[in-house]
Chain A
Amino acid sequence: MTTAPGAYAPTPTRPVLTATGVTVTFPGVRAADAVSLTAVPGRVVALLGESGSGKSVTAMGLVGLAPGAATVSGSAELADGTELIGAPRPVLDAVRGARVAAVFQEPMRALNPLLTIGAQFRLALAAHRRMSAAAARDRAVTLLGQVGLGADAGAVADAAGAADAADAAGAGGGATSGTAERVLASYPHELSGGQVQRVCIALALANEPEVLLADEPTTALDVTVQAQILDLLRDLARAGMAVILITHDMGVVADIADDVVIMREGVIVERGAVGDIFAHPEHPYTRMLLDAVPRLGAGLVDHAVDAAAVADAEPVATRPPTGPAEPAASAPVVALTDLTVTYTRRGRRPFHALDHVDLRIDAGEVVGLVGESGSGKSTLANVVTSLQPPTSGEVRILGQRLDGLAPAERRRIQARTGIVFQDPAGSLNPRATIGASIAEPLVLHADLGAAARAERVAELLRLVELDPALAGRFPHEMSGGQRQRVAIARAIALDPALVVADEPTSALDVSVQAAVLEMFLALQRRLGFACLFISHDLAVVEEVSTRVYVLHAGRVVEAGPTSRVLLDPQDPYTRDLIAAVPVPDPARQAERRAARHAG
């Protein structure tokens, strides 16, 4: 975009920002301890760590953007000797934007909702230079062009991906030569997440900074959009920008980082060139992180082995289960036929959240459902759990048609369906003990005495590998992983025939995700429930499911055995999706990126 990839010359250059011994403390907590870091023009330094590692507060603390309660000490010096830590606000104001700029994780929240993009550019430009309104507008158009929101193909692709947002803005005409002008006249909510993140990057570039702090810039984005934003950051670095990339994602690091700094609990545990770290991780924590990452293509083998091992160890757990007979044992647990869900809003075109979808889940089977945001995944989950009535088509759960079912019958079916949501902090009642939360379905649907209920809760906690003594705790007293285990325990409390897991591990750190997934799979094999496993993460889906459905804009574009779909995708969208996932292997990722650009 800005320069050809070939223009990159990896000659070592003087750092433009040198941080030494940066320590960030919150009252009572040391979030980062003596962290040193350099930002070098043309290179991407990844600051990698799990949540709570202090990576973000460290980077933001360099320019005084750490949260108010934080105290930052140490040194962060620009090439000309300007010291940033402890600098008075006027000094920081002169540096921020003009020499060090930042982009953030949630692009939608990073822009002022009440100002047009054009107004936000005017403010950003006016912070460092006097310029006329016309000049500011021209500069903004140029910047938007640089980040792919000009008239070029990149913008068209992204705009097409964001068809919803563009429609909502009443400007669904697609990108033409007026794209930049249209963006400038828009409010943030009228653009897609990817477009807004491009706008944020363009704003950060407005005053030609030397260093770009990118704080999880793609975490909130879909994988295909992530790939585009990463390309953009990479191009910026190749054009001479020093990029500090804060991330938790090994794939992202492998994709664009030159150097990696790995942080854990506020301390740097390992650092080095990206190739070395991935090839020869020295610190056990680094190795653990690398092992915990679900990898596309790797899961298949593991899965087969695991399944065999478990089958040997626990002969009872063969599937389908031979337990209490399901209504019509041969009937699928879920059968959706020609299902359409349409949302109509006055003055808007009807929106087909699901468009003639067929889907089947057999007893004891784990079926993956993959799609990006807005693809209809959650609508489908709501239909299956009878929270959303279909507009047309047939929904059969446990062999029974949902429509026209008596409320009592419907409740009986709901009792056989468990749900695990993405955010356990949100789905567990914060004022109830976890024991009470787990017991809730038992109270509603099972006729048990208090003692029997407590016994069942203890048993469920053991099943999800938690200490039964934790039953008296409140959700806020537990870690994210523990909370998700609790949510799983609640979902299986009534021994369901079907569990719908809606992004159950995407809010968790990789190391925690690996453990929770393993436990969940073991549980599924042992109890034999069928599972609809919804995720945007292809590697995770590959690890857990035998068959997979790929959802795009409300339609099933591809369905089949997981290995077939992921290794030999037929639909162009599936292919793009798979190609866009960065793999945690720098060499392979470089090949994949090249292939993606060639294709």
Chain B
Amino acid sequence: MNRRTLARIGVLATQTLLVLVIIVALTFMVFSAWPADPALLACGRPCTPDRLESARVFLGYDQPWYTQVWNYLTGIVAGRTFGEGAGAIHCDAPCLGYSFRLGAPVTSLIASRAPVTASLAIGAAVLWLLGGVLAGMVSALRRGTFADRGIMALTVVGVSAPSYLLGLLGILVFGFTLDMVPVANYVPFSTSPIDWAWHLVLPWTVLAFINAAVYARLVRGHMLENLGLDYVRMARSLGLTERTVISRQVLPNVLTPVIPLVALDLGALLGGAVITERVFSMPGVGSLLMDAVGQTDLPVIVGVTVFAAAIVILANLVADILATVLDPRI
């Protein structure tokens, strides 16, 4: 990694930070304009106008919008306290708001759910990367054969079938009919690594299958393109075996554009695999969000949105850095 690469990474990181601040402010502003009154949720029963007003002051909704944005931003950096005196609730940094419905800071709600989502997303990403690249390579190298057609047919299924359909089918077939794998719930890794993996097998497979389909097509395309390029002909003309040509010359060229993509897709999932978590009853960030939406728990909705946006933006940064590091021409 030379100086130019480092300089580029520095620029990328600065840009990311800026975008993050803007996203936080925008998200907050969008949800502040929401018709539902968050003070109503916090005011308790019976909700007299007096109590409503004090809840509003307590939450800081009596302030002008820019002060609210500022308070929210500083809350992320330094934490904040709602209310004053004995009844005050402190929310530690990074504070993404406080859910009165659940009686907990949003940050700790997300933190308790994030391992579930991370287990799901990262495990699935490993599977789909391996599966997608392998399937794509086989497809390209055996172009026109039965294997190629079979793989491409499967990818059509993977690309077009929605995850809930595959998820429910998986539960029906492997969970109930064949009774091979558990169909729901999450066991923390710390409790039992084996149970953890066992409960995740089905959701991993479903998520991986859907994404692997895209990757298989991508890898197949890149592979076929690269196999027709002059550098491959040159490598063959030097007496390199086809194995060496594929593994040492073609594969790096195929993977260079694919790896940053994994970072992007993984980032999108880490913010909450909403449907998959729902289907498999996984208590992840996605189901936290779904519950919050159902109950108009605004602070949680805002907090999860900001969290997901941050993850996606960081994933973009990682993708850009990976692209810079992997490809000497960038």
Are A and B bound to each other?
Answer: yes
Is residue A411 contacting chain B, with contact meaning CB distance below 8 A? no
Stretch at the interface among A77-85, A199-207, A446-454: A199-207
A101–B2 alpha-carbon span in the complex (Å): 35
Distance to closest chain A CB from B178 (angstroms):
43
Is residue B195 contacting chain A, with contact meaning CB distance below 8 A? no
A128–B229 alpha-carbon span in the complex (Å): 23
- Within 8 Å by CB of B238, from A114, A127, A213, lies A127
Distance to closest chain A CB from B45 (angstroms):
61
Task: Evaluate whether A93 and B239 lie within 8 angstroms (CB atoms) in the complex, with A115-B252, A189-B328 already known.
Answer: yes
Is B4 a contact partner of A170 (Cβ separation < 8 A)?
Answer: yes
Q: Which residues of B contact A421 (CB under 8 A)?
A: none
Distance to closest chain A CB from B243 (angstroms):
10
Is residue A347 contacting chain B, with contact meaning CB distance below 8 A? yes
**Mask for B231-258, Cβ within 8 A of A = 1, else 0?**
1011111111110100011001100100
Is A111 a contact partner of B240 (Cβ separation < 8 A)?
Answer: no
Is B252 a contact partner of A114 (Cβ separation < 8 A)?
Answer: yes
Is B4 a contact partner of A123 (Cβ separation < 8 A)?
Answer: no
Is A96 a contact partner of B236 (Cβ separation < 8 A)?
Answer: yes
Is A200 a contact partner of B234 (Cβ separation < 8 A)?
Answer: yes
A187–B329 alpha-carbon span in the complex (Å): 8
Is B237 a contact partner of A123 (Cβ separation < 8 A)?
Answer: no
Task: Evaluate whether A111 and B231 lie within 8 angstroms (CB atoms) in the complex, with A170-B4, A187-B328, A189-B328 already known.
Answer: yes
Q: Which residues of A contact B237 (CB under 8 A)?
A: 63, 65, 96-97, 101-102, 204, 213
Is residue B50 contacting chain A, with contact meaning CB distance below 8 A? no
**Mask for A109-123, Cβ within 8 A of B = 1, else 0?**
111111100000001
Is A109 a contact partner of B239 (Cβ separation < 8 A)?
Answer: no
Is residue A164 contacting chain B, with contact meaning CB distance below 8 A? no
Is B249 a contact partner of A127 (Cβ separation < 8 A)?
Answer: no
Is residue B230 contacting chain A, with contact meaning CB distance below 8 A? yes
Q: Which residues of A contact B7 (CB under 8 A)?
A: 347
- Within 8 Å by CB of A94, from B239, B242, B328, lies B239
Is residue B327 contacting chain A, with contact meaning CB distance below 8 A? yes
Is A123 a contact partner of B252 (Cβ separation < 8 A)?
Answer: no
Residues from 324 to 352 in A contacting B, C-beta threshold 8 Å: 347
- Within 8 Å by CB of B239, from A96, A110, A114, A347, lies A96
Q: Which residues of A contact B230 (CB under 8 A)?
A: 104, 106, 109-110
27 A–B contacts, CB within 8 A, in A order? A65-B233, A89-B242, A95-B239, A97-B238, A97-B239, A97-B240, A101-B238, A102-B237, A104-B234, A110-B234, A111-B231, A112-B235, A112-B249, A113-B231, A113-B328, A114-B253, A114-B328, A115-B252, A123-B235, A123-B249, A127-B239, A127-B241, A170-B4, A189-B328, A204-B238, A207-B239, A213-B237
Spell out B's residues near A (CB within 8 Å). 2, 4, 7, 229-231, 233-242, 244, 248-249, 252-253, 256, 326-329
What 15 new A-B contacts, CB under 8 Å, besides A114-B252, A124-B240, A206-B238?
A60-B233, A93-B241, A97-B237, A97-B238, A97-B239, A102-B233, A102-B234, A111-B231, A112-B231, A114-B326, A114-B327, A124-B238, A127-B241, A170-B2, A170-B4
